[in-house]
Structure 1
Amino acid sequence: MELRRQQQYGFDYVDEGQGPVLLLLHGLFGALSNWQDVVAEFSSEYRVIIPVLPVYDMPLLQATVPGLVSYVESFVEKLQLPTEFTLLGNSLGGHVALVYTLKNPGRVSRLVLTGSSGLFEDGMGGSFPKRGNYSFVRERVGYTFYDPSVATKELVDEVFAVTNSNAKCLRMISIARSAQHHNLAGDLHRIQVPVLLVWGLNDTITPPSVAHDFERLLPQAELRFLDHCGHAPMMERPAGFNHWLGGFLRRTTVQLAQAQAANSAR
């Protein structure tokens, strides 16, 4: 399905379907299309919302993980999203989702992380893209996936355009460094909501060991791996990703309803 972008209150975003809200956050080199298969699968039962994170356009001094969290907070407020919603994040988007949850514990009912930063990330294979070197950019973008062919020419061209803009590069580097320095290991125990971790078994940017660390540090986490899959499971293995996500949503919907009923009876 083709994603329809909307613009309101100064935000650029996708808003598809009706029902409980799934708020999706893309990564540093991500785009709305990264979540296309999730929207197609779940918009019949959920309201699926994807804001465009201003990773290349925000003021340079705000180009940090906390700056992006503030952006998401403003987005949620302006769109008057429900008191509780499910938050999903890939890579940098997962990092932002974690910090948002820590700052707004009453807003997030469930959390889904896939290839998330926040503990460790070998961004772009240990180096930033070189300006004007298309073959280098193509290689580094391909490094994101188990199957490099998933890195389409369109995707490589988008990243190449970013690397040829000094202003965009400065913001990208600022955000990437902020993510690397903003380690959440000491804070994750405070996240008490159900968490689904879906990880590529062949992820070289946030390797499987990172997923195991998240599982150990998050009190209510469950971990699922997808084989022959790199850093963006929802793109590279969409059927498998949607399978684990759908089961998690159904199961935790029952659990959350039971918990709410028990609290009301007290």
Structure 2
Amino acid sequence: MNPLPPFAAVSMAALLAPLALTPLRERLSPAELPGVQHFVRVGGYDLHYTDEGPRDAPVVLLIHGFAAWAFAWRSQRAALVAAGRRAVTIDLPGYGASPRPVAPVYSTHDQALTLLQALDALGIGTFDVVGHSFGGRVAFQIALLAPQRVRRIVAICPEAFTIGRPPIAALARLPLIGQALAYYVLAPSLVGVGLRSLAKRDDWLTDEVIAGYAAPLYVRGTAAAQVWQARSPKDGPLPVPENLAAIRPPILLLWGDGDTVFPVDEGRRLERILPDARLIVYDRTGHLPYEERAADVNQAVVGFLVGAR
């Protein structure tokens, strides 16, 4: 039997290595992440959430973006609580300290319904919502599914116009290739590089912040969840791009002028399509304004959600 050519042997090793290495890296349960305390039971899943501020105050739901979790909102949570609001974050399935289902349940429709059910379980009726990137798309989906519950929306560099999964998802769907791809892309050592590539300012990017974003990558099932996200529909029965004009709550759009993920022209287009929207653009800012311009974003969020009343 002839040995594999060198290139083929290296490629095969690269595909097979994650099968052995993933359990070594993903060794934690969600409850073992630092600072994790609260879980709410929804549809057989224990979702991680934070709940800060007066229990009788108006609720602000904060929805993180791709590969983030409750940690990302630490500055905004503090600002909202200081302004007298109740700040609630819920880690989306597949992220943070929430479960990683091995099933095609990662459409924005699924995520939005899960968050609404979690709010029901917490006894929360109406609320404001702040969403970043993919979380902004989930916020739009929530407003389409439950318009009577959403008071106002702050969407930070939201994903709004993409139709389906990115081209790389076709590879991620493949059994062996998908697992290997997810393993390498989600390497904790790449988190700092990834965050820096998204931002135009990095004075906020300390070792502590990098460690905070990287922590969930050590939770069991993380790579597999990304494979199943690639196998899930993008939206569901109410596609966001086709229904933007039906979103009625007042919306504040916050964007970085140097966003390379969703360019600011998408924000200007959204401002024209959405029935009641206003756009603020931050100069020398990338895809993470809530980190790069935390003080400015906090002022805008609090002013829109609190000052308007």
Cα distance in 2, alignment partners of residues 119 and 151 from structure 1: 32
Sequence identity (%): 25
Question: Which among 121, 129, 144 is matched to residue 198 of structure 2?
Answer: 144
- Aligned partners of 1:6 and 1:12 also within 8 Å: yes
- Match for residue 72 of structure 1 among 108, 112, 115: 115
- Letter of the 1:104 counterpart: A
Q: Which amino acid aligns with 1:11?
A: L
Higher relative contact order (CA 8 A, sep 6+): 2
Matched, 1:132 2:184: yes
State the partner residue of 1:51.
Answer: 90
Contact 1:24/1:51, CA 8 A, preserved across alignment: yes
CA contact (8 A) 1:141 1:156 kept: no
CA RMSD in angstroms, aligned pairs only: 3.3
DSSP 3-state at the match of 1:43:
helix
Q: Which residue of 1 is the match for residue 52 of structure 2?
A: 16
> For 1:151 and 1:173, how far apart are their aligned partners in 2?
31
Asked if 2 retains the 8 angstrom alpha-carbon contact of 1:119 and 1:183, the reply is: no
Query: Which segment drifts farther, 66-75 or 162-171?
Result: 162-171
Unaligned runs of 5+ in 2: 1-33, 173-180
Whether the aligned pair in 2 keeps the contact of 1:201 and 1:208 (CA below 8 Å) is yes
Structure 1 residues 157 and 104: alpha-carbon distance in aligned structure 2, compared to 1, 3 A threshold: closer
Question: What is the aligned counterpart of 2:155 among 113, 117, 121?
Answer: 113
- For 1:1-266, what aligned pairs fall within 5 Å after superposition? 5-9=37-41, 10-18=46-54, 19-44=57-82, 45-56=84-95, 57-82=100-125, 84-120=126-162, 131-132=183-184, 138-147=192-201, 150=205, 152=207, 153-154=210-211, 157-158=214-215, 161=218, 166-174=223-231, 178=234, 184-253=240-309
| Counterpart AA for 2:226 | C
Tell me, yes or no, if the aligned pair for 1:22 and 1:88 is still in contact at 8 Å: yes
Compare 162-171 and 50-59 and name the one that shifted more: 162-171
Q: CA deviation at 1:232?
A: 1.9
1:100 Cα shift? 0.7
Larger Rg: 2
Is the contact made by 1:121 and 1:206 (CA closer than 8 Å) also made in structure 2? no
Shift of 1:70: 1.5
Q: Which runs of 5+ in 1 are unaligned?
A: 254-266
Shift of residue 123 of structure 1?
Answer: 9.1
Kindly state the Cα deviation for residue 159 of structure 1 after the two structures are TM-superposed: 7.4
Q: Tell me how many residue pairs correspond in the alignment.
A: 250
State the Cα deviation string for residues 53-79 of structure 1 (Å, max 9, x = none): 112513422122111112112111111
| Kept in 2: contact 1:194–1:221 (CA 8 A) | yes
1:39 CA drift (Å) = 1.0
TM-score normalised to structure 1 length: 0.80
Matches of 2:206 and 2:253, distance apart in 1: 23
Query: What letter is aligned with 1:12?
Result: H
For 1:30 and 1:174, how far apart are their aligned partners in 2?
A: 20
Q: Measure the CA separation in 2 of the matches of 1:70 and 1:172.
A: 16
- Map Cα deviations across residues 22-65 of structure 1 (whole Å, 9 max, x no partner): 01101121111111111111113000000111125134221221
Alpha-carbon separation, structure 2, partners of 1:166 and 1:16: 30
Q: What letter matches 2:77 in structure 1? A: V
Could you state the TM-score of these two structures normalised by the residue count of structure 2? 0.70
**Paired residue secondary structure (1:60):** coil
Q: CA separation in 2, counterparts of 1:206 and 1:172?
A: 20
